[in-house]
Structure formats: structure tokens, C-alpha cells
Structure 1
Amino acid sequence: MYQVLYCLTDEHDWRLVALGGAVCLLASAAAISLFHRARATQGPGRLAWISLDAAVSGCGVWATHFIAMLAYGPGGAGAYNIPITILSLILAISITFVGLSVAVSSARPVWIVVGGAIVGGGVAAMHYTGMAALEMPARVDWVGSTVTVSVLLGAVFAAFALFVAARRDDLSHALGATVLLTLAIVAHHFTAMGAVLLTPDPTLAISGLSIPPASMSFLTASAAVAIIAIALVAALLDRRAKGELGRQQLVLDSALENMSQGLCMFDAEGKIILFNERYASMLRRTDIALTGRLLVDVFREEQAKGQWLGDADEFFARLVSDAREGRTTTDVVNRFGRSIRVVNQPMQGGGWVATFEDITEWLEAQAKISHMARHDALTGLPNRVLFHEQLEQGLHRAKSDDQLAVLCLDLDHFKDINDSLGHPIGDALLKEVGRRLKAAVGDGDTVARLGGDEFAVVQIGRSEEAAARSLAGRLVEVISAPYEIDDHQIVIGVSIGISLSPQDGSNPDELLKNADLALYRAKADGRGTYRFFETGMDARAQARRLLEMDLRAAVQRDEFQAYYQPIRDVASGRVVAFEALLRWNHPQRGLIAPISFIPLAEETGLIVQLGEFVLRSACTDATSWPDDIDVAVNLSPVQFKSPNLIASVTSALAASGLSANRLELEITESVLLQNSEATLTTLHELRAMGVRISLDDFGTGYSSLSYLRSFPFDKIKIDRSFVSELATREDSMAIIRAVTGLGRSLGIVTTAEGVENDAQLELLRREGCTQAQGYLFSKPRPASDVAMMLERPRLRASA
């Protein structure tokens, strides 16, 4: 140690020592700056920065050495061997390049330290090679222990310098690393110089390939200038780069803070490197120190507050393992009542980036969309799609001894309610029906609305047909109970079709089809009841479809014809009118009874065309009859709702030339169930034209004396069901007596339908009935037979 201090204080020119130290400090500062730049760059750019850093460092070490050698007193009479001097510079640059490459290429501290030690070794190699270039008339010997110390000092200080520089790229770390690297070079040089032992030897001559100290001063100064120039260029480049990085950092920070997602970046050990405010606020971690902390510690802190459930260590270990194995994971976690989707994306070199998105509203919207797609918007019941799925699941779950029943329900006369009271009342009624159905079925049963006024029920797990029968009877009773909706008392019925699995089908489509067939049968049998599927129903449904096809074709082929049945005055016995009745003359089946096709025509809407045909034919045919003979035409409820009804009547009268007072239009009481105000308006318009209005089938439907008060009908027709039982039932006689008495008091003609024998006619005459028609007088006949029916007073015909 004394030898080193003596060498430094007594054998060196302090002015040159100060110059060498300044060059060394400047070169070290440039080297550390370039080291930071190299670590921040990837790819080919990194190699360029390492090369530049090695050149600056090597030249700085070389210049520092030879400036310090000029300050060394004993060196004044010597010279420097040129090849060896150049070799020392090459060694300084190349070994430093290796050390910097090792330190820059790894994030692990041990390799950074190794790289720094290699850089220190480069300083030693340059120094002792440079000393070997010194030629002077003296022998140079070395103190081995001091040489070892010099090498260790250079390696240790250089290793610490790069270790400090690698920890963080800021001013304090850069200054500390610069000082340490300067110490590595200076401490090595002056310790090594203290190990020199010079023994004068005049026999040693200076070779021709050497350079005198004065020239060496010039070269050293040039090298120092080059170092300073390179350092300045590097500093400028680094400053520009840092300015650009600063601007990019501002853009990045702005982007991070304006993201709708939360973002957090972790290193390979799970330490938080970077995060935005959205992440902190979303997870309510604004009051927790996050930067630089292990995520597992944050979990444990939240666990202590009761904000984290589960095993924090296990969860953290899974995250780290997934990142190390390069797995991208997506999880949905619930935090503070919010659903958050977390995507963990591994990064190259270790660590991962996690993004956090609040998907609470999105999940709610998806659930709402899914619910809307599978449920009826009005009643909230499952719709056809969900019902089909649940029926299929029920069939899969059903055991071998279980029976599954499908009930298809259709509300009776719902369309009349909807048309007369309006759609808001109709919708409220459907909602109430849905509520009653849900309350009436079992816990394991499913209720759905298939559309319109159609509902369906799946009954699962009952082993006998009686269970389905009991449920159907209960539903008919429940649905038929009166409803109170917006001050309206409404009474409707329901028709139900039932199919059973496995006997009636083993898949949803087959069971629904067969339940629909049974429902059609329930409607045909009078509504307000239920029917089970039977094998023959499919054949009848197919026959109905064929009939519908024939019916549509018959309209195009003009296969229909108007027949007429006489209406006689009971007192005089003469014919006063003919009722026009529609007949279908099928080319293969012959005459088809109206009961077989009129309901079908009403369901399909073809009754409007057929009704107009009968109206035109009746008006045209009646013009050839005597002027005192009228013609009566039935109007279907469907036809009466047509907006073209008035125009059709006007057109038929105008085209035929028939007087309006000879036309009588017959309506049923179901017409009056429709929109009463519009119905009365239409009736008054017809009456204003001179057309007479007759109330058909009085007493069989929803009869009310208020109808006769609201509109003064010209005629009341007593239904044939009362006439047929005149002689056997006293209540039928009482009804006819009441109706005829009512007609006399109101000045309304009464006509009895279905008179088949003299006894019935005599009783009607005795009670004062005005008119009669039936098979007693004649069957309905074509228009060509009208003259014959007028000539003969009575044409008896068997019923």
C-alpha cells in the first residue's frame, strides 16, 4: 500500500493525473449512458449500441492509461512500441465488447456482475499490454501481490458499476455507475503502477518501431478528443432518444389513462411494474401501494380486509406458472358486485400483462337478449323455441315408466274479445290467462305461450292418463272463470288437445302435431272441452287439408250454386220470401253439405268471396220473381267485418236492379259481440238503404234483450232447436210463446225455422208466429225450381 501511495504522490505529475482523471470520468459517463441505451434497445440496434459503447470505453481506458503514463516520472526517457500500443487498444475495445454484451443481454444480476468483471478484465489487459509497449534503458519487474490487487480492484469496481447502472435508468444511478467505473479504471492503473520495479540497464536499446513520449502525447490527446467527440455524439443521440422516449411515454401514459379497460404489467416474479388508474379504481386498490410490490402481497392485504376470498398463494402461483409456460388465460371474477373479465397475456422474457374489463352491463344485456329470444314478451312465459327445448329435455329425462303429456290450448272466442274491446284489453287478458296457467300446473310442469292465443303445457312424471285428464279439466275450469279487466267482465273458454308419450309420439314435433290434431277435434266438438289424440285424427286432418285445397279450387272453378228455401206466411200459407242457401256441387263428391265446408270457409276467409257470390246471385235471381216475394241472404260474422260489405250490397243491388226493400240480410248474434259501435253503424247504413235486417238463431247464443233495444230488427228468426221440441218439451213452447209475444209487442216479424210437420205448424199458428220455413214446405232447391215452389201451396219433403 505504501509503495502505491509513494508512486502516486512522488512519481506522477498531478496536472497530467488530473487530465487523465477528467478524460476517464467523461469516458465513463459516456459508457454508462450508452450502456443504458443498449439495454433499452432490441434486435440489430442493440449490437450497434454495444459496439459504440465498447469503442468509447476502450478508447477512454487507453487514453487514461497513456495520459497517466506521461505523468509518470520514470517514463520521460522512454518510448512506446507502436504494434504493442495498438494491440493494447484493440484488447481494451474487444474485451470490453464481450463484457458489455454479457451484461446487456441478461436481466439476471449474476450475469450483469459477470459482464462488469469482464469489462474490468479488459482494463487490466489493456494496462499491462500498454506497459509492455514501454521501451526504456531499464528492466521492468512486477510485485505479484500488487498486480493481483490491481486486477481485482478493476474487476470488482467495474462489476459494481454495471450492476448499479442496470438497476434503474435515472440520474442518481447513472452518476453512481459513472463514479464506480471511473474508480475501476483509476484504481487499477495507479495500483498497477505501484507494482512496477525499474532496474536501470544501459544495454537495453529502444527499437525502431517505437514512438517518443511527445508524439505519444499527441496521439493520446487525439484519442481523448475522439473520446470526447464520441461521447458528445452519443450524449446527443441519447438525449434525442430520451426526448423521443419521453414523448412516447406521454403518449403511452395518455393512452393508458384513457383506456376503458384496466391494465397492469407484472415481471417474471409477479411484481407490479406498471398499471393505470382504471385498474386501481376498478379493483378498489387506489389506497394501496402497488408499484414494485408482489401481487401476492396485495392479495394477502385484501384477504386481511375480507375483500379477497380463496387461497391467495395458490391463485398467484397459477398466474406465475401460466406466464412462464406461455399460456394466455381468461377468467371472469366478481369483485364488489361487478363482473370483471381478466385476460392474462404472457410477455417475452418473463412476466405478463393483465387487462381488466367490467362486463357487468354486457352480461346483463346478453342475459336479457337471451331471455327475450326464448320467452314471450307479453306474458314472460317460455316461447315456442324454449318450449321445444324443454320438451326435448323432458323426453330425455323421462324414465321408462313415466308418462309425458303435451297439452295444446286455444282460447275460445278470444278474437271476438280482441276486436270488440281492443288489443290492450286482449293483451291484459292473455297475461292473466298466463298467470292462471302457471298457478294451476304442477311444480315440475312447463307452461309456454306459442303465439296469439295459443298456449301449451308439458306434464312430466305422471304414470297414468288420468293425471293428464285431471289437469285438462282443471285448466278448462280455471280459464273459464270470469275475468275483471278495466271494468270489463270477460268470460272466455278454452279448448285443449292432449297427446301422450310414448304412445302418441317420441319426439317434440310429433307430440305437438298430435296435440294440435286433438285440439282441432275439441274445437269441432263444441269448444270449452278437451280431447285426447286418437289415431284417426290424423286421417281426418289430412281429409280436412284436402277439402281446403278443393274449396280454394272450387272458388276458381265456379262450382258453387245458390239454392232457395221458401218462407211462408203462417196465416195465409202463401210464399212471402226465399232464403238463399249456398251449395257446393263437387265434380267427384257431388253436393257437399254446408256444415262440411262453411266453417272451413270461415276459418280460411274464403267465406267473404262465397258470401259475395250468394248475394249477387240472390239479387239477380230475385228480379225474375214476383215483386211481393223477397229474398233473404245470410251474412257470416267474418263477412260482416269486411270493410267492403256496404259496397258489396250496393253493387249487388245496382247490378241486378233489385229494389233494396226486397233484400233481407240475416245476421247471427255473434256479429253483435264484435265492436258494437261499428256494428250498429253498419246496420244503420244498411237500413238507410232500405235493406231489412233479420236476427237469425235468436235465443241460442249470447242473446240479450238489449240487442233488440239497441237496434230495431225487422225480423227475429226462432232457431230450429226450439221448433223440433215443441210437442215434447214445455220449456221450448214457453220460449216460442215469449219470443212471438215479444215480436208482436215490438212490431217485429217472427219466423220459425225447421218446421217439419203439421203439428209444429199448428202450434206456431196458435202462438201467433208470423212466418215459417222448413222441410214441411220444401227442401232448398235451385233457382230453376222457384216457379214450381210458388205455384204449389205445399211441397212436402221428408227431413
Structure 2
Amino acid sequence: MYQVLYCLTDEHDWRLAALGGALCLLASTAAISLFHRARATQGSGRLVWLALDAVVAGCGIWATHFIAMLAYGPGASGAYNVPVTLLSLIFAIAITFVGLGVAVSTMRPGLVALGGAIVGGGVAAMHYTGMMALEIPARVSWATGTVAASILLGVVFGAFALHVAERRDNLSGTLGAAVLLTVAIVSHHFTAMGAVQLTPDPTLPISGLSIPPTSLSVLTASAAAAIIVIALVAALLDRRAKGELGRQQRVLDTALENMSQGLCMFDADGKIILFNERYAAMLGRTDILLTGRLLVDVLREEQAKGQWQGDAGEFFARLVADARESRTTTDIVTRFGRSIRVVNQPMQGGGWVATFEDITEWLEAQARISHMARHDALTGLPNRILFHEQLEHGLRRTNSGDQLAVLCLDLDHFKDINDSLGHPIGDALLKEVGRRLEATVGESDTVARLGGDEFAVVLIGRSEETAARFLAGRLVEAISAPYEIDHHQIVIGVSIGISLSPQDGSHPDELLKNADLALYRAKADGRGTYRFFETGMDARAQARRLLEMDLRAALQRNEFEVHYQPIRDVATNRVVAFEALLRWSHPQRGLIAPINFIPLAEETGLIIQLGEFVLRSACADAATWPDDIDVAVNLSPVQFKSPNLIASVTAALEEAGLEARRLELEITESVLLQNGEATLTTLHELRAMGVGISLDDFGTGYSSLSYLRSFPFDKIKIDRSFVSELATRADSMAIIRAVTGLGRSLGIVTTAEGVENDAQLELLRREGCTQAQGYLFSKPRPACDVALMLEGPRLRALA
């Protein structure tokens, strides 16, 4: 040890020694930086960085040695053999390359340290080869123990240097490793120089291939400059690369932490490499150490806390096997009441990336969409699509001997309620009807809303005809019970049509069609009841469809004509008006009465065109009559809702040149039901034009008196049902007496319809009825017979 200290203090120029140390530190810092860069690179790029690192480190070791040798006093009078000097440089670069390659290619700390030891061995190889290049007039001998110590120092500090570099890739780690590598080189050199023993021998020659120390100083300075340049370039590249990596790392971290999905990356062994906070929060693992741990250990820890169910080992083994087989898997798991979709995507080189997406709201939205597609938005009942599917399912599962019944329901006069009270009340009524239907049918039965006020029920069992009859009766009773909606008491009925499988059909569409036909029959039979499908109903439906087709064609072929029935003044026995009545002259069926086609025209909307035809024809015909004869035209409730009604009346009067006072429009109480305020406004507009307004079929409604108070009608027409029973029923007589008395007190003309005999006429005259109309005077006749009806015999005077 004394010899080493003596050599360092007395045999070296400390200024050149310090320069060598500084150069060594600079080269070591560059070498460690390049070592980190090589470890961060894969493939051919790593080989390039390794080669550059070996050149920088080898040149640094070589330059340090020869600068220190220049500082060595005894060496100043010698020379250096060029080939051996170059060989020492080659040894320094080659052995350093091997050591760095071992350290870079492994993650195991022991092998990294082995690589550092090889680098330390390269320092020794370069030093002693370089010493062999020294040619001086003296014999060189070595202290064996000191030589061994120098080699050991280089190997140990070299191993420590790369061990520290592998553990800490930051500024402090780089500086620490650079200092250790510098210590390895410097301590080896000066310890080895302390082992040199020189015995002067002037007889030893200096070869011709030697280079003097002055020239070597230039060469060393050039090598040092090259090292510095390389080190600076490498440092710059490394800094730029680290800056780019840092920027990319920040971008990656930002992207990971702002993902709506959770992400976790695993290596081939199932160890967690990285994850984002969304993953930890989504799976409730924020309080668990994750980085670097095997997933199976995390699952077992959760299993111990009761947060994970299942076999952790089996689950983990399946994930690892899927990744090794490059299989992408998708699972849906439930965590803390949330549904999470997990996609495991294999990575190249082993391992996999798992993404975790919370799809709870998406699944709920899909469920809502699916429910909306198959359920009615208003009542929540199955709609036509789901009803059809369940009906098909019911038909498939009916066994031999089983029956299936389909009930089609339609609310009676729902449209009138919807029009008079408004759609919100109508919607509330439909909801309540849906609730009553669900409460009335059995748990295994299906209830659906097909649209509007149409509902349907499916029953399955062994005696469905009996069950359907019983259920239909209960439904009629339940639906007909009064409703209290928004301070309105509403009473509504229901008509039901029933078809049975297999006798009425074995296909959903066929059963629905036949139940619809039975429903139509229930409506035709007075509503508020139910009917089963019968074979003849299809024929009647076909006849109705043919009639509808004929009705549409009849408008184009001008098959309609207007007949007139006289209205006489009871007191003077004089014709004061004619009522216009529509007739259909069918080319094959002959004359068709209004009762057979007017309801169909109202259902199909054709009544508007027919009504306008009657109005124009009646005004045109009345214009040819005497000035004191009026014409009465009936208005359908459908026609009255037309926004063009006022314009149609005005146009008909203007085209015919008829005074408005001679036109009388007859409406029924159902017109007043549909929209009270708007209807009264229209009536007042017609009245302001001079048109007379009559209330037809008076006494058959339930609020006629309130109508008389709301609007001052010009005439009340007493329904024929009261007139026909005048002589047989005292209550009919009382009603007529009350109506005529009401008319006198209000100044309203009263007209009795359906007068067929002299006895009825005499009773009406006695009660003060103003006008009479009926077969006693004349049947409805074509317009060409109006003159005959005006010139006909007067009423017989009664004794």
C-alpha cells in the first residue's frame, strides 16, 4: 500500500494525473448515459448504442491510462510500441463491449453485475497490454499481490457501477454509477502502477515501431478530444431521447388517466406492468399494491376480503393460457353493483392488455330501447310486435287438446271523450283501462295495447271457450265501471271480439283478423258486449268491404241523388219546408237506404264529400221553389268537425243564389259532444249568416236542456220514437207535452218526426206542436216531385 501511495505522490505529475481523472469521469458519465439508452432500446438499435458505448468507454479507459502514464516520471524518457498500444485500445473496446452486452441484455441484478465485472476486466486487460507497449532502458518487474489487488479493484468497482446504473435510471443514479466506474479505472491504474518495479538497463534498445511520449501526448489528446466529442454527442442524443421519452411518457400518462376505460397491462407471467387510476377505482383496488404483483395474488387477496368469488388460480390460468394462444376474450363482470365489460387483448412477445369499461348505463339504455320497441309508451303494456311474438309462442306451446283464445277489445265512443275533454284526459283514461285489464286477466294471460283505443288479450288452456266467455263478461263489467279522472266522471263501454284456436285459425294474423271481425259484430249489435267469431262474419266483412269500394266508386259515377220530404205547418196545413234526404241508386242493388251506407261513410270519412253534395244540391233545388219554402239539410258529426264547413255553406248558397234564411241545418246532440266551445262558435257564425239551426232527435240524449240554454236553436225536432208511441204510452205523451211547452216558452219551433196517422197528428195539434213530418203527408221523393207535393191535397179536416 505504501508503494502505491509513494508512486502516486512522488512518481506522478499531479496536474496530469488530475487531467486524466477528469477525462475518465467525463468518459464514464457518457458511458453510463449510453448504457441507459441501450437498455431502453430493442433490436438493432440496441446494438448500435452498445457499440457506441463500448467505443466511448474503451477510449476513455485508454486515454486515462496514457495521460496518467505521461504524468508518470519514469515514463517520460521512454517510448511506446505502436502496434501494442493500438492492441490495448482494441482490448479496451472489445472487452467493454462484451461486458456491456451482458449487462444490457438481462434484468437479473447478478448478471448485470457480472457485465460490470467484465468491464473491470477490460480495464485490466487494457492497462497491462498498454504497459507492455512501454519501452524504456530498464527492466520491468511486478509485485504479484499488488497486481491482483489492482485487478480486483477494477472488477469490483466495475460490477458496482453497472449495478447502480441498472437500479436507478436518473441523474443521481447516472452520476453515482459514473463515479464508481471512474474509481474502478483510476484505482486499478494507480494500484497497478504501484506494482511496477524498474531496474535500469542501458543495454535495452527501443524498437523502430515506437512512438515518443510527446507524440503520444498528441495522440492521447486527440483521443481525449474524440472521447469528449463522442461523449457530448451521446449526451445530447441521450438528453434529447430522454426528453422525447419523457414527453411521450407524460402524454401516455395523461391519456391513461383521462381514459373513460380502465386499463391494466400484464407480462407473460401475469404480472402487472402498468395500470391507470380508472382501473383501480372501477375494480375497488385503490388500497391494494398492484405494480409488479401477479394478478392471481391480487385476486386471492380480494377473495380473502370477500370481494371476489370463484377459483382465483383457475381464472388466472385461463387468462395466461388465452394470452399465450393469442386469443382475445371478452367477459362481463359485476363489481359493486356495476356491470363491467373486460376485453383481454394479447400482446406481441407475451402478456396481454385488459381494458375495463363500465357498461351499466349502456345496458340499461339497451334494455329501455328493447322495452320501448316491444311495449306501449303510454300504458306500459306489450305492443303489437310483442303481442304477435307471444301469440306465436303460445300457439307453439299449446299441446294436443289445448285451446288458445284471442280477445280484441275496442272502447265504445272513446273518440267522443277524447275530442270533448282533450287528449290528456283521453291518455289518462287509456292508462286506467290498461290497469283494469291487467288486474282482471290471469297471471299467465297476455294483455297488449295494439294502438289507439284497441287492446287485446291471449288466453291459453283446455277450456278456453268457457274461460274466454267468463273473462269477456268480467272485462265488460270492469271497463264499464265509472272513472274519476281530473275531476271528470267518465263512463265508457267496451266491445269485444273473440276467436279460438285451432277452430278459428292456427296463425296469429288469422286469429287477429277473425277476432276483429267478431269485434265488428259486437259493435254492430249495440256495443258494450262480446261476440265469438262465426264463419259467416267473414262473408259479411267481405260484403262490407265491397260496399265500401262501391261507395267510393259511386261518388265518381254520380250515383247519389237527393230526395225531399215535406214538413207541414200543423195549424195551417201548409208545406213550409222540405228535408233533404240522400239516396243511393246502385246500378245492381237498386235504391239503397241511408241506414245501409251512411254509417260506413262516416267511418271512412266519405261523409264529408257526400254532405257537400247534399248541401249544394239542396240549395240549388230550393232556389227553384217558392220563396216561402225552406230546405233542411242534415249535418253529420264528422262533417261538422271539418274546418271548411263555414266555407262550404257559404259557397253552396252563393252558387245557388239562395238566401241564407231559407237554409236550415239540422244537427244532433252528438255534434255538441265533440268540442263544446268550438261547436258553439261555429253555430253562432252560421246563425250570424242567417242560416237556421235545428236540434234533431231531441230527447234521445242526456243533456239536451243544457244545450238549449247554451245556444238559441230555431227549431227542435221531436224524435220519431216518441211520436210512434203517443197513443200507447203515457210517458211519451208527457215528454211531447213538455217539449212543446218548452218550445212555446222559449219561442222555438217544434217539429214532430215520423207522423204516420191522423190520430198522432191530432194529438200533436192538441199539444201545440208547430210542425209535423212523416209518411202521413208523403214519403221522400225526388226533386222533380216537389211541385206535385206542393200542389197535392190539403190535410183532411178532422171532426
The CA distance in 2 between the partners of 1:36 and 1:590, in whole Å, is 108
Unpaired stretches in structure 2, ≥5 consecutive residues: none
Tell me the residue number matched to 1:476.
476
Matched, 1:564 2:561: no
Matches within 5 A, 1:262-301: 262-267=262-267, 273-282=273-282, 291=291, 299=299
Tell me the residue number matched to 1:734.
731
> What are the Cα deviations for residues 159-210 of structure 1, in whole angstroms up to 9, with x where unaligned?
5543432233123433443355445556766787899999999998654333
Tell me the residue number matched to 1:381.
381
Identify if the C-alpha distance between structure 1 residues 638 and 789 changes in structure 2 by more than 3 Å, giving closer, same or farther: same
Residue type at the aligned position of 1:667: I
Per the TM alignment, residue 55 of structure 1 is displaced from its structure 2 partner at its CA by 0.8
Identify if the C-alpha distance between structure 1 residues 10 and 428 changes in structure 2 by more than 3 Å, giving closer, same or farther: same
Identify if the C-alpha distance between structure 1 residues 30 and 606 changes in structure 2 by more than 3 Å, giving closer, same or farther: same
The CA distance in 1 between the partners of 2:142 and 2:76, in whole Å, is 19
Q: Which moved more, 1:347-356 or 1:626-635?
A: 347-356
> What are the Cα deviations for residues 190-243 of structure 1, in whole angstroms up to 9, with x where unaligned?
787899999999998654333345544443343234323322332343334434
Per the TM alignment, residue 145 of structure 1 is displaced from its structure 2 partner at its CA by 10
Per the TM alignment, residue 618 of structure 1 is displaced from its structure 2 partner at its CA by 1.4
RMSD (CA atoms):
4.2
Per the TM alignment, residue 611 of structure 1 is displaced from its structure 2 partner at its CA by 1.0
Tell me the residue number matched to 1:743.
740
The CA distance in 1 between the partners of 2:485 and 2:660, in whole Å, is 42
Per the TM alignment, residue 742 of structure 1 is displaced from its structure 2 partner at its CA by 2.7
Checking the alignment, whether the CA contact within 8 Å between 1:578 and 1:631 is kept in structure 2 is: yes
Checking the alignment, whether the CA contact within 8 Å between 1:737 and 1:767 is kept in structure 2 is: no
Matches within 5 A, 1:270-669: 273-282=273-282, 291=291, 299=299, 302-303=302-303, 305-311=305-311, 315=315, 318-319=318-319, 321-323=321-323, 325-461=325-461, 463-568=463-568, 575-669=575-669
Per the TM alignment, residue 567 of structure 1 is displaced from its structure 2 partner at its CA by 3.7
Checking the alignment, whether the CA contact within 8 Å between 1:98 and 1:118 is kept in structure 2 is: yes
Per the TM alignment, residue 430 of structure 1 is displaced from its structure 2 partner at its CA by 1.6
The CA distance in 1 between the partners of 2:146 and 2:463, in whole Å, is 105
Checking the alignment, whether the CA contact within 8 Å between 1:716 and 1:743 is kept in structure 2 is: no
The CA distance in 1 between the partners of 2:321 and 2:159, in whole Å, is 32
Identify if the C-alpha distance between structure 1 residues 681 and 240 changes in structure 2 by more than 3 Å, giving closer, same or farther: closer
Tell me the residue number matched to 1:220.
220
Matches within 5 A, 1:35-54: 35-42=35-42, 45-54=45-54
Per the TM alignment, residue 758 of structure 1 is displaced from its structure 2 partner at its CA by 6.5
Residue type at the aligned position of 2:409: L
The CA distance in 2 between the partners of 1:690 and 1:485, in whole Å, is 40
Per the TM alignment, residue 245 of structure 1 is displaced from its structure 2 partner at its CA by 4.2
Identify if the C-alpha distance between structure 1 residues 107 and 388 changes in structure 2 by more than 3 Å, giving closer, same or farther: farther
The CA distance in 1 between the partners of 2:120 and 2:740, in whole Å, is 131
Residue type at the aligned position of 1:605: G
Matched, 1:211 2:192: no
The CA distance in 2 between the partners of 1:459 and 1:410, in whole Å, is 18
Per the TM alignment, residue 489 of structure 1 is displaced from its structure 2 partner at its CA by 1.2
DSSP 3-state at the match of 2:33: helix
Q: Which moved more, 1:110-119 or 1:648-657?
A: 110-119
Per the TM alignment, residue 483 of structure 1 is displaced from its structure 2 partner at its CA by 0.9
DSSP 3-state at the match of 2:633: strand
The CA distance in 1 between the partners of 2:420 and 2:344, in whole Å, is 62
Identify if the C-alpha distance between structure 1 residues 328 and 182 changes in structure 2 by more than 3 Å, giving closer, same or farther: farther
The CA distance in 2 between the partners of 1:750 and 1:339, in whole Å, is 76
Checking the alignment, whether the CA contact within 8 Å between 1:496 and 1:519 is kept in structure 2 is: yes
DSSP 3-state at the match of 1:380: coil
Per the TM alignment, residue 84 of structure 1 is displaced from its structure 2 partner at its CA by 3.7
Residue type at the aligned position of 2:579: E
DSSP 3-state at the match of 1:647: helix
The CA distance in 2 between the partners of 1:149 and 1:391, in whole Å, is 97
Tell me the residue number matched to 1:237.
237
Residue type at the aligned position of 2:226: A
The CA distance in 1 between the partners of 2:168 and 2:404, in whole Å, is 74
Tell me the residue number matched to 2:678.
678
Matches within 5 A, 1:736-775: 736-747=733-744, 750-755=750-755, 771-775=771-775
Per the TM alignment, residue 464 of structure 1 is displaced from its structure 2 partner at its CA by 2.2
Matches within 5 A, 1:689-700: 689-700=689-700
Per the TM alignment, residue 739 of structure 1 is displaced from its structure 2 partner at its CA by 2.0
> What are the Cα deviations for residues 311-336 of structure 1, in whole angstroms up to 9, with x where unaligned?
55555555555555555555554444
Per the TM alignment, residue 507 of structure 1 is displaced from its structure 2 partner at its CA by 4.3
> Identity rate of aligned residues, in percent?
83
Checking the alignment, whether the CA contact within 8 Å between 2:7 and 2:194 is kept in structure 1 is: no
Residues matched between the structures, number: 788
Per the TM alignment, residue 614 of structure 1 is displaced from its structure 2 partner at its CA by 0.8
Matched, 1:58 2:54: no
Checking the alignment, whether the CA contact within 8 Å between 2:153 and 2:184 is kept in structure 1 is: yes
The CA distance in 2 between the partners of 1:785 and 1:108, in whole Å, is 122
Identify if the C-alpha distance between structure 1 residues 470 and 632 changes in structure 2 by more than 3 Å, giving closer, same or farther: same
Residue type at the aligned position of 1:625: W
Checking the alignment, whether the CA contact within 8 Å between 1:579 and 1:631 is kept in structure 2 is: yes
The alignment's TM-score, normalised by the length of structure 2, stands at 0.84
Checking the alignment, whether the CA contact within 8 Å between 1:34 and 1:50 is kept in structure 2 is: yes
Per the TM alignment, residue 454 of structure 1 is displaced from its structure 2 partner at its CA by 2.2
Matched, 1:31 2:28: no
Checking the alignment, whether the CA contact within 8 Å between 1:11 and 1:74 is kept in structure 2 is: no
Checking the alignment, whether the CA contact within 8 Å between 1:99 and 1:117 is kept in structure 2 is: yes
